[in-house]
Amino acid sequence: MENYMTSIKVKVADLEKGLNSVNTEVAEMKQDIEKKADFEKLQMLESEVEELRNRSRRNNLVFYNVPEQAKGQNCVEFIQNFIVSNMGQDQFT
Residues 40 and 66 in one domain: no
- Give the whole-angstrom CA distance, residue 36 versus residue 30: 10
Nearest to 66 by CA among 87, 51, 88, 40: 87
Residues 77 and 47 in one domain: no
Residues 6 and 38 in one domain: yes
The reported pTM is 0.41
In 1-93, which ranges are continuous DSSP H helix? 2-57, 75-87
Q: Which residue has the higher pLDDT, 70 or 63?
A: 63
Q: What is residue 25's predicted lDDT score, i.e. its pLDDT?
A: 92
What total number of domains does the chain contain? 2
Three-state secondary structure string covering 43-54: HHHHHHHHHHHH
pLDDT tens, residue by residue, 48-61: 999 998 888 887 77
Q: What is residue 69's predicted lDDT score, i.e. its pLDDT?
A: 67
Q: Which domain holds residue 53?
A: 1-60
